[in-house]
């Protein structure tokens, strides 16, 4: 391949650097190399190509006169809005299909038809039941769980009304959605409708399309994703602060290494349990290994890291590197973010690359079908046995030594408890510290890695800049792993990286300044956290009043755009990096970057420079502080009796 970047320009991650050097010496190709080899299509990057019918494809560009239209007469704004709508529909479909899988699994457990999994978090069962309108008083736990499972599953195919968990939103926010007629009715209905509206000859009003996409995205955040997170918590436990270790150094030289990569927590859960099963351990010892080491990768790994402290090998752009170590005896994958390039790469080493889900088969990969609802243990035994049997085939092994300790597990419930204690659990202390200015605001920094930018660097520089300015950071997904590897999820990080106000709060509570909340599907936890902030009072009566902002600095997936759009539709200023599917100077661009704020209270921004990105977020936070009248730190006033009476 010609013109490959130097490795120092590809990543700031030490262990990835070491493995990319090895990979080049081994003459194998990685996604970083392919990104150098294949340039992005300039028309596609601007969302200026329409393939929605076969009179085209029609291509417009920023250089074409604004009046130029496609064969059907559709203009550049409709090209972009239709493309954007389909991206949101695809992202929503991905999260929500995962949510459906969790609902079906949960229902099989609730009915007692599945002994491979169980209900482990009864308080979460009760709170979720209440929010889904399931009566709990005087009823058997089993009956509550069955009704909850059925109600959750029905949300996907519901045709009328609105998704029940939207009731968690502040009243003003709900009213805004109702006034705009964008309350999602059912998850599947909104995805199907978006696909219909973007078909040739249907919706050709860019604003109507963007608002339709908002309805679809809300079905993701407040529907499919929120259901998935809630039911997974009931089965696998609601995260609370827990220690874990991240980076490629979690691989073990003398153990059978299994990397589980994908998005569905139940396969990883089963494989983890089997790794300590005496029969499986005996099998491992019989082939000369000391035992079985199961580690996560990407988001199912994130889910089980924040719940159980399972070691995590790395984020999306470290999958290649894990295989290049030569120490991965098997990589089991389920759905989402699985790169096809990992299959030929695994054949260059000894790694068994095994797909496990009927929805995600890859040519050249071995397939062992795993179903959570039936036969999970048997499939798990088959998978783990294949990894164990492959241990003897190892060649040269080079495991980077780098691994970092971290504290993760900050669900919105854990934040509530951490700040207020078990008897007075509340977001009031957080709000108080925002009002008194010690914490300037809160930022959600989430999303993927993208090989077109320096791996982990944009995440790191953005987060450093936010912390320096007293902005508390909440994270999910691959972004969280980037910061965990760099040590930002240790309480001591507050002393090193934070401004004086945030440092003081973190030191008092003993928490890290960067809070890991889970997988990309768990961004719904951040929605719940901002609802709690509104409920606690003092910071306005809508999410859009809060001094908060969101960012996905290295995103790459359609899911990320769906997440971004549900945050914008929920009233949050949201900045994306790398690239954005938009042609500047169009009415569509002006609407999503500006005008949409009038309608929804949130808006999009696009910026690739992490320092400018941070500035945009801080400026937004400051503007909200100003609107709330908390922008200047007030002198403490001592009240006399008369003043108290007036109060």
Footprint of ligand MSK on this chain (CB under 6 A)? 298-299, 316, 337, 447-448, 477-478, 519-520, 557, 559
Query: In angstroms, what is the minimal distance from the CB of 556 to ligand MSK?
Result: 6
Q: How far apart are CA 147 and CA 106, in angstroms?
A: 11
CB of 379 to ligand MSK, least distance (A): 23
Q: Among residues 245 and 450, whose Cβ is nearest to ligand MSK?
A: 450
Give 530 or 556: the residue with its C-beta nearer to ligand MSK. Answer: 556
Cβ proximity to ligand MSK: between 477 and 564 the closer is 477
Task: Select 494 or 563, whichever has its Cβ closest to ligand MSK.
Answer: 563
Instruction: Tell me the C-alpha distance between 527 and 226, whole Å.
Output: 9
Q: How far is the CB of 519 from ligand MSK (least distance, A)?
A: 6
Give the tokens for residue 299: 């988001």
Least separation, in Å, of the C-beta of 336 and ligand MSK?
6
d(C-alpha 525, C-alpha 542), whole Å: 17
Share of the chain residues as helix, strand and coil, in percent rounded to the nearest 5:
50, 10, 40
Smallest distance from ligand MSK to CB 94, Å: 8
* 49-50/58-59 β-pairing: antiparallel
Q: Residue 88 and residue 195: Cα distance in Å, rounded?
A: 10
* 184 vs 447, beta carbon nearer ligand MSK: 447
The token duo for 541 is 């009566």
Burial 458-496 (b: 16+ CB within 10 A, else e): bbbbbbbbbbebbbbbbbbbbbbbbbbbbbbbbeebbee
Output the smallest distance, CB 279 to ligand MSK, in A: 32
Considering beta carbons, is residue 331 or 448 the nearer one to ligand MSK?
A: 448
3-state SS of 251-280 is: CCCCCEEEEEEECCHHHHHHHHHHHCCHHH
Q: In angstroms, what is the minimal distance from the CB of 225 to ligand MSK? A: 11
Q: How far is the CB of 447 from ligand MSK (least distance, A)?
A: 5
Q: Distance between CA atoms of 615 and 597, rounded to whole angstroms?
A: 19
Find out whether 625 and 631 touch, Cβ atoms under 8 Å. Answer: yes
Distance CA 519, CA 268 (A): 13
| Distance, CA of 417 to CA of 407 (rounded, Å) | 16
Q: From CA 635, how far away is CA 647, in angstroms rounded?
A: 17
Nearer to ligand MSK, 315 or 351 (CB): 315
If the CB atoms of residues 271 and 539 are measured against ligand MSK, the closer one turns out to be: 271
């Amino acid at each position: 391949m010609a013109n490959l970047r130097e490795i120092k320009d590809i990543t700031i991650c030490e262990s990835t650097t070491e493995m990319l050097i090895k990979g080049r010496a081994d003459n194998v190709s990685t996604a970083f190399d392919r990104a150098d080899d294949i340039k992005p299509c300039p028309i596609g990057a601007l969302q200026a190509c329409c393939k929605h019918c076969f009179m085209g494809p029609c291509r417009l560009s920023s250089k074409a006169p604004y009046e130029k239209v496609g064969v059907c007469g559709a203009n550049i704004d409709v090209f972009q809005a239709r493309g954007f709508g389909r991206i949101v529909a695809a992202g929503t479909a991905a999260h929500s299909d995962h949510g459906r899988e969790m609902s079906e699994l949960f229902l099989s457990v609730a009915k007692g038809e599945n002994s491979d999994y169980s209900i482990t978090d009864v308080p979460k069962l009760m709170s979720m039941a209440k929010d889904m309108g399931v009566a709990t008083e005087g009823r058997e736990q089993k009956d509550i769980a069955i009704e909850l499972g059925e109600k959750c599953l029905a949300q996907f195919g519901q045709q009328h009304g609105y998704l029940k968990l939207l009731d968690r939103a502040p009243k003003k926010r709900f009213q805004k959605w109702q006034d705009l007629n964008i309350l999602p009715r059912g998850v599947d209905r909104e995805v199907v409708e978006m696909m219909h509206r973007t078909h040739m000859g249907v919706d050709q009003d860019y604003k109507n399309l963007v608002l339709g996409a908002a309805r679809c995205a809300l079905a993701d955040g407040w529907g499919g994703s929120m259901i998935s997170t809630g039911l997974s918590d009931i089965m696998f436990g609601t995260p609370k602060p827990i220690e874990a270790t991240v980076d490629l150094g979690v691989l073990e030289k003398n153990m059978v290494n299994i990397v589980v990569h994908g998005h569905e927590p139940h396969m990883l859960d089963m494989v983890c349990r089997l790794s300590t099963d005496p029969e499986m351990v005996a099998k491992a010892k019989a082939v000369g290994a000391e035992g079985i080491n199961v580690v996560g990768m990407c988001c199912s790994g994130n889910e089980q890291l924040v719940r159980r402290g399972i070691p995590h090998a790395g984020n999306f752009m470290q999958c290649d590197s894990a295989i290049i170590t030569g120490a991965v005896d098997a990589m089991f994958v389920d759905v989402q973010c699985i790169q096809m390039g990992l299959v030929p790469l695994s054949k260059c080493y000894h790694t068994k690359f095994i797909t496990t889900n009927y929805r995600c088969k890859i040519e050249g990969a071995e397939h062992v079908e795993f179903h959570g609802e039936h036969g999970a243990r048997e499939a798990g035994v088959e998978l783990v046995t294949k990894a164990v049997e492959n241990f003897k085939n190892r060649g040269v092994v080079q495991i980077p030594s780098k691994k970092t300790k971290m504290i993760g597990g900050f669900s919105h419930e854990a934040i509530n408890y951490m700040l207020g204690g078990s008897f007075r659990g509340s977001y009031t202390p957080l709000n108080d510290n925002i009002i008194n200015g010690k914490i300037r605001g809160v930022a959600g920094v989430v999303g993927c890695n993208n090989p077109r930018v320096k791996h982990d660097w944009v995440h790191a520089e953005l987060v450093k800049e936010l912390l320096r300015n007293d902005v508390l950071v909440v994270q999910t997904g691959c972004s969280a792993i980037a910061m965990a590897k760099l040590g930002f999820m240790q309480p001591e990080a507050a002393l090193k990286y934070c401004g004086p106000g945030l440092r003081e709060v973190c030191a008092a509570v003993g928490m890290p300044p960067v809070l890991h909340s889970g997988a990309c599907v768990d961004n719904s936890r951040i929605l719940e956290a901002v609802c709690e902030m509104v409920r606690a009072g003092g910071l306005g009566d809508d999410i859009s009043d809060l001094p908060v902002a969101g960012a996905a600095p290295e995103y790459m997936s359609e899911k990320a755009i769906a997440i971004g759009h549900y945050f914008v539709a929920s009233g949050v200023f949201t900045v994306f990096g790398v690239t954005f599917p938009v042609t500047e100077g169009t009415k569509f661009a002006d609407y999503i970057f500006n005008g949409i704020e009038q309608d929804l209270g949130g808006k999009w921004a696009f910026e690739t420079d992490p320092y400018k990105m941070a500035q945009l977020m801080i400026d937004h936070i400051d503007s909200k502080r100003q609107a709330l009248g908390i922008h200047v730190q007030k002198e403490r006033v001592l009240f006399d009796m008369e003043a108290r009476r007036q109060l």
